[in-house]
Chain A
Amino acid sequence: MSKSETYYQWARRKGVSRRDFFKFCTLMGAMLGLEATEFPKIVSALQSKPRLPVIYLNLQECTCCGESFLRSSHPLVSDLIFNMISLDYMEVLQAAAGKQAEEVRLKTMKDHPGGYILVVEGSVTLGNGGVFCTIGGVSTTDILKQTAEGAAAVIAYGSCATNACVQGAYPNPTEAVPIRRVIKNKPVIDVPGCPPIAEVITGTIVHYLTYGEIPELTNQGRPKAFYEHRVHDNCVRRAFFDAGQFVESFDDAGAKQGWCLYKMGCKGPTTYNACAITEWNDGVSYPIKSGHPCIGCSENNFFDNTPFYTHLAKIPNNALGKDVDQVGMDVVGVAGLAVVAHAGMTAVVKHGEKKAKEGSKP
């Protein structure tokens, strides 16, 4: 994009039709909660404004999400950050440091009020006046609030940002909480996972860029395109579950034939994520396919939904009503009943999740 090129011109050059551009503006207006009479202002703003600035904050985290972001194959991360968005602030990549880095963040906030996307990796820590995570001597809780103020939308990227992940596990020594707990007056898109699949975060950003709207979300606030189905629903080992063929011990005869890992503690049946469809690192594999049970890293409080290697029916207080050993026997015995048993179990699992969700509400 040249100096004089507006977002509109850039979008047209990238093949977006004028009609789609107006649709983009309308949906953006709706998303921002503006009256319809205000929409022309958005059109005008985007026709005269540069390409979408993005501020990426790292709070309490391990940077696995940032690393995953770098692994994106489609789009290539270089295409995203050099051609599609203006990644104005991301500590992991930006050349400037210290006060020069902070100046860039403040300039973007000042120059593009209501016009930038805020991506947040990491949880907020409420403990002890913000001493557990500071940048430039300022509590990151305050930096988050300040930066979110002028953002068009906030993407809570990764399980730290959506559910406080490992530092939020019992006993949560730093009072780590998800972004939603602190940012309440902005649209927040939850993109969970530890980390999320690379193409899920870049796909969410590109969706917003292309269609000018937040993607459709599940009732948990996650993009439906990636979090609508359970890993189990499309699992490469699903046929073995249905046939009652389970790995009983790692590396046993069943394991050597790729049988179902449910009895080894697999959380695929209760985990909503795109692993089994999109797969990881440009579609190479995903945990279950590579022989390890899913640990459910995109689900709330997954580090407290442990032990990992005990199957769901045997985890204390789990609402799943039926022992998988029994299900397996039923299935092997009467093929027709297998479908019923499985459907019934799915319903029980879903009911359990619903209850768990209600119970975990802050």
Chain B
Amino acid sequence: MTTRIVVDPITRIEGHLRIEAVVDGNRITDAISAGTVFRGIEKIVENRDPRDVWAFVQRICGVCTHIHALASIRAVEDALDIRIPKNANLIRNIMTTTQFVQDHVIHFYHLHGFDWIDVLSALKADPAQASALARSISDWPRSSDGYFRDVQNKVKTFVESGQLGIFANAYWGHPAYRLPPEANLVGVAHYLDALSWQKEIAKIHTIFGGKNPHPNYLVGGMASTLNMNDNDVINMERLDLVKTKIDEAQVFVDQVLIPDIFAIANFYKQDLYGGGVGNYLAYGGIPTVDIREPDSFLFPGGVVLDRNLSKVEEVNLKDPLQIQEFVPHSWYRYDDPKAGLHPWQGKTEVAYNGPLPPYSNLDESKGYSWIKTPRWKGRPVEVGPLARFVVAYAKGNQEIKGLVDDALHRLNLPVTALYSTLGRTLARALESKFLVNHLAGFYNDLVANIKAGDSQTFNGEKWEPEKWPSQAQGVGFAEAPRGALGHWVKINQGKVSSYQAVVPTTWNASPRDASGQKGPYEASLLDTPLARQDQPLELLRTIHSFDPCLACATHLLNPQGNEVLKVRVI
């Protein structure tokens, strides 16, 4: 006897995601993932000044808040063959790694935390034992009996008010929660600590980009001028503030995030479901030297298929046969409904054939999502921290391999344990550790370069449109916190003639393709248990392990002259 359950809204994500799952007993036997919002930004940037476009596409997402801007300026710089100064690359790297660490911590505590941590159970904890537990795994100073007693009292007062706010009507007491009350209390305390800390590291963006969310970028470099002998621009005081926030971030990751992920993983390590498609893709990114030099990337690019770590395929964003997007189950129309189109040839016309709202169910035999179906050589692939780590591990990257092997050893788990919901979450935490160390390194490199007499942050040689070719095209890419990100731009007579973004959540949340291959979300739910059909805690845990970002995923691709405004409802 199967039941079809609907979870919509999936909360604690960015944007609007709907999951429908067919459940047999306490197993999910089929699932569909649907993006339910659409804005059309890529159509809007057509005929705009390419130097402006970063600001438009940055608004694809405010959680991934700077990475779309970065991919956009890289696409324009690629098209116009603009080289950026060393300082600009370092500042971009500082901003990128800052974003990764901040985003990963917010995800772990504020978006994913309640999938592992039972807030109400924390009320039963003995604060003295919670303190002993916390001190046994970390030197984090906020670990006294009194501190945990205060946190517990705060939660108690809150709960007893009868107004549970963000904790209301959740799944507390669910059998899939495995932490003892003391570990739950530590988790709740760190939820609050992380909420206070995340706004601090964001100040690094504010110094170089003027604000966060949505810091400013510039084609050709960065606008944040460096002058150690002036008080109106980035000087030593500003850099010292950056350094202070980097130091605080290192402490937070080392003393809070990393001990917590190991503590939680120890209690949940028998729950190794949610593996998904088993194919992993990374474009590679964070160039220590320059985006044109892949050998200098912190994250190597590549594709691992079928969990085969002995072979890594090369990925090429400009090869028309590698990255293709399909629309058999998306609310768009191609001339050939079975075709897969590379982003350069992308052609999309909105054709909504879902039910008119309000509706109860979507029909997977038709279109059921605003998300398209990208495939790499026809294969569904997962992107994100786990994909980056799998590719780097398979390529023998010593630093990442060391982190992974050490973690698996501490948890007494085989490498295959990575292919799971828990593995995805573990990889994200390890990535935070990996990057916070490099954040300090980029800062030191920037200071050393300034000391060597180089304060240039911008290359204006090709700023003026008269210096551009009449036609150009480029690709900008980056590893975003949620995975591989690519922007493809075409420029004609100084204006954008087409623009496309294929973003991490498009890869991960994609609907099935014409041959029935499910996307990573859908596939990962197939072995996810559900102890209670009406309380989808494990389903949320698996979906959250990907860190969904739906505003990113549901954008409009380039209609190449087709009038997008004529939306068909069929």
Q: Give residues in A with beta carbon < 8 Å to B.
A: 1-3, 5, 50-51, 53, 58, 60-68, 70-73, 76-78, 81-82, 85-88, 90-104, 107, 127-139, 142, 165-167, 169-174, 176, 194-195, 197-198, 236-237, 249-251, 255-258, 275, 280-282, 284-293, 295, 297, 303, 306-309
Contact = CB atoms under 8 A, between A and B. Distances in A.
A99 B360 CA distance: 12
Contacts of A93: 12, 110, 166
Given A67-B62, A255-B233, A281-B212, 10 more contacts: A82-B158, A88-B163, A93-B166, A94-B170, A95-B12, A133-B16, A136-B9, A282-B199, A288-B210, A292-B224
Q: Which of B360, B564, B567 has its CB near the most chain A CB atoms (within 10 A)?
A: B567
B206 A280 contact: yes
Contacts of B565: 171, 173
B256 to A, nearest CB: 16
B245 to A, nearest CB: 10
Contacts of A173: 39-40, 43-44, 350, 556, 564-565
A102 B7 CA distance: 11
B212 A95 contact: no
B218 A292 contact: yes
A77 to B, nearest CB: 6
Contacts of B222: 291
A85 B166 CA distance: 11
Nearest to B550: A63
B39 A174 contact: yes
B227 A64 contact: no
Interface of B: 6-16, 18, 36-41, 43-44, 48-49, 51-52, 55-56, 59-63, 65, 106, 110-111, 114, 119, 154, 157-158, 160-163, 165-171, 192, 195-196, 198-199, 202-203, 205-214, 216, 218, 220-227, 230-234, 241, 331, 350, 352, 354-361, 455-458, 460, 463, 535-536, 540, 551, 556, 564-565, 567, 569
B233 A285 contact: no
A90 to B, nearest CB: 7
Contact of A82 (B39, B40, B51, B154): B154
Is chain B's binding surface mostly helix, strand, loop or mixed?
A: loop
Contacts of B162: 3, 50
A237 B208 CA distance: 17
A149 B156 CA distance: 33
Contacts of B160: 2-3
Given A129-B356, A131-B569, A251-B457, A284 B55 contact: no
Contacts of B56: 166, 169, 303
Contacts of B40: 167, 173-174
A357 B19 CA distance: 43
Given A70-B106, A137-B357, A307-B51, A97 B540 contact: yes
B65 A64 contact: yes
B44 A171 contact: yes
A291 B206 contact: no
A242 to B, nearest CB: 15
Given A257-B227, A307-B51, A82 B165 contact: yes
B62 A95 contact: no
A285 B208 CA distance: 9
A166 B225 contact: no
A281 B242 CA distance: 13
B42 to A, nearest CB: 10
Contact of B14 (A63, A78, A100, A255): A63
**Closest 6 pairs (CB-CB, A-B):** A258-B232, A64-B62, A287-B210, A173-B40, A95-B170, A290-B210
A126 B40 CA distance: 14
A130 B357 contact: yes
Contact of A73 (B169, B199, B209, B354): B199
Q: Which of B203, B356, B360 has its CB near the most chain A CB atoms (within 10 A)?
A: B203
B211 A281 contact: yes
5 contacts: A78-B196, A100-B169, A131-B354, A167-B41, A290-B206
Q: Which of B38, B208, B455 has its CB near the most chain A CB atoms (within 10 A)?
A: B38
B20 to A, nearest CB: 10
Contact of B61 (A62, A97, A98): A62
Contacts of B226: 256
A71 B12 contact: no
Nearest to A97: B11
B224 A291 contact: yes
A92 B161 contact: no
B352 A60 contact: no
A137 B220 contact: no
Contacts of A176: 39
Given A95-B166, A250-B220, A129 B211 contact: no
Q: Which of A85, A195, A286, A292 has its CB near the most chain B CB atoms (within 10 A)?
A: A292
Contact of A289 (B37, B210, B227): B210
A98 B8 contact: yes
Contacts of B10: 97-98
Given A60-B37, A97-B540, A285 B232 contact: no
Contacts of B224: 290-292
B357 A309 contact: no
A90 B12 CA distance: 9
A282 B350 CA distance: 43
B422 to A, nearest CB: 20
A280 B208 contact: no
Q: Which of A3, A78, A82, A142 has its CB near the most chain B CB atoms (within 10 A)?
A: A82
A2 B44 contact: no
Contacts of A92: 11-14, 111
B83 to A, nearest CB: 14
A167 B44 contact: yes
B448 to A, nearest CB: 20
Given A138-B357, A166-B56, A171-B43, A290 B11 contact: no
B52 A306 contact: yes
Nearest to A103: B169
B367 to A, nearest CB: 11
Contacts of A306: 48-49, 52
B166 A90 contact: yes
B46 to A, nearest CB: 9
Contacts of A131: 331, 352, 354, 356-357, 569
Contact of B216 (A67, A96, A167, A292): A292
A28 B535 CA distance: 39
A98 B7 contact: yes
Contacts of A165: 59
A194 B199 contact: no
Contacts of A104: 168-169
A350 B12 CA distance: 42
Contact of A249 (B6, B41, B456, B460): B460
A82 B160 CA distance: 12
B223 A250 contact: yes
B63 to A, nearest CB: 5
B545 to A, nearest CB: 15
A113 B233 CA distance: 51
Contact of B203 (A88, A101, A281): A281
Contacts of A285: 206-207, 210-211
Contacts of B43: 171, 173
Nearest to A90: B166
Contact of A280 (B211, B458, B463): B211
A85 to B, nearest CB: 8
Q: Which of A87, A137, A295 has its CB near the most chain B CB atoms (within 10 A)?
A: A137
Nearest to A308: B52
B199 A166 contact: no
Given A67-B63, A166-B41, A257 B230 contact: yes
Q: Which of B9, B457, B460 has its CB near the most chain A CB atoms (within 10 A)?
A: B9
Contacts of B11: 91-92, 94-97, 101
Contacts of A64: 59, 61-63, 65, 213-214
Contacts of B221: 250-251
B360 A258 contact: no
A205 B192 CA distance: 21
